[in-house]
């Protein structure tokens, strides 16, 4: 596995070594030791989640507050998505910055997203299956969100607005400037 720090240094792109032969392929999708060494700590993932979505679905931008803030390790099992994160850590040099990266089933890369980030994705393929590990359980009372269409963030979701499919809840989240629940 190869780990690479992205523009926001605490975020890691993990590229597995894929072994192909006449039977198909094999890869090691996750190894705790590699992630611990790359991110400088010890994580304990406790929940795996998976979603299936169609082209144009935009999920997010979501986050959870402490004590249920989540470190996430995300990857695409089938299809292609634009993964989007926003740094909500007030003490960070990259506070308020967003990062967009395409993840797909062909490259099989994973993205490590530390706690303190809003996270979402847009489906760019006909269908996508998105999987993620978290180190804290889903806690609805601690869940918050950020407007997907915040003009300050100016995120290009790569899906025309008229083709976007969003939940009512995701349409109602506040803009970045109006967020009151941020990380230290």
Residues with catalytic roles: 62, 132
Q: Rounded to whole angstroms, how far apart are CA atoms 56 and 18?
A: 29
DSSP, res 177: G
Q: Rounded to whole angstroms, how far apart are CA atoms 126 and 3?
A: 29
Please tell me the total number of residues recorded for the chain in this structure: 184
Find out whether 86 and 182 touch, Cβ atoms under 8 Å.
no
Give how far the C-alpha of residue 6 lies from the chain's centroid of Cα atoms, to the nearest Å: 13
Give how far the C-alpha of residue 21 lies from the chain's centroid of Cα atoms, to the nearest Å: 31
Give the number of other Cβ atoms within 10 Å of residue 151's Cβ: 10
In 3-state terms, the chain is what percent helix, strand and coil (to 5)? 10, 45, 45
């Amino acid at each position: 596995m190869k780990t690479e720090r992205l523009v926001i240094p605490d975020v890691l792109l993990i590229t597995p070594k894929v072994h192909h032969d006449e039977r198909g392929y094999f890869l090691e999708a996750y190894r705790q030791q590699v992630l611990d060494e790359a991110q400088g700590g010890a994580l304990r993932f406790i929940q795996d989640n998976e979603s299936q979505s169609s082209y144009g679905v935009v999920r997010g931008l979501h986050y959870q507050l402490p004590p249920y803030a989540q470190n996430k390790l995300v990857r695409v099992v089938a299809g292609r998505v634009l993964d989007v994160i926003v740094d909500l850590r007030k003490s960070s040099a990259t506070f308020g910055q967003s990062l967009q990266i395409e993840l797909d089933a062909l490259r099989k890369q994973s993205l490590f997203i530390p706690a303190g980030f809003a996270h979402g994705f847009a489906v760019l393929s006909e269908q996508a299956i998105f999987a993620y590990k978290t180190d804290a359980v889903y806690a609805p009372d601690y869940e918050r969100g950020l407007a997907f269409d915040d003009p300050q963030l100016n995120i290009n979701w790569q899906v025309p607005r008229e083709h976007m499919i969003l939940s009512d809840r995701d349409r109602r989240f506040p803009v970045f400037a109006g967020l009151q629940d941020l990380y230290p």
